[in-house]
Amino acid sequence: MAHKFPFTDDRLEALKPPERGELIVYDQRKPYLAMRVTSGGAKTFILYRRVRGAPRKIRLGALGEIDVREARVREGRQARPDSSDTADLGCACG
């Protein structure tokens, strides 16, 4: 189940970890920006997109290392396809 809302540092800090596995939530303002929350409590900003049909999760930084504003800047830099990617880029935030 996808969770999508406008990211703020306070909202992300308040996220509770899942009992097992990981939870991925998506930012409404940036289509590829997501946060992975593990059952151990780790919260990591990721760039989540598809490249050639396969999902890719690229680590941008942990919550606490960077804030929402910096994560959005990094998402903007990383989300641009380079020459090795195909046009098959799609947000996985369905």
Please state the domain extents for the chain.
3-78
For 3-78, CATH gives: 3.30.160.390
Q: Is the pLDDT of residue 61 over 90?
A: yes
In angstroms, the CA 83 to CA 94 distance is: 26
Say how many C-beta atoms besides its own lie within 10 A of residue 62's C-beta. Answer: 13
pLDDT at position 42, please? Answer: 98
Q: Is the pLDDT of residue 19 over 90?
A: yes
pLDDT-derived band at 2 (thresholds 50, 70, 90) equals low
Distances in Å between the alpha carbon of 43 and those of 7, 62, 65, 82?
A: 13, 6, 10, 27
Alpha-carbon 57 to chain mean position: 8
Q: Of all residues in the chain, what percent carry a pLDDT higher than 90?
A: 67
**Can you tell me which residue has the tokens 């396969």?**
54
pLDDT at position 81, please? Answer: 60
- Name the token pair of 46: 């990721």
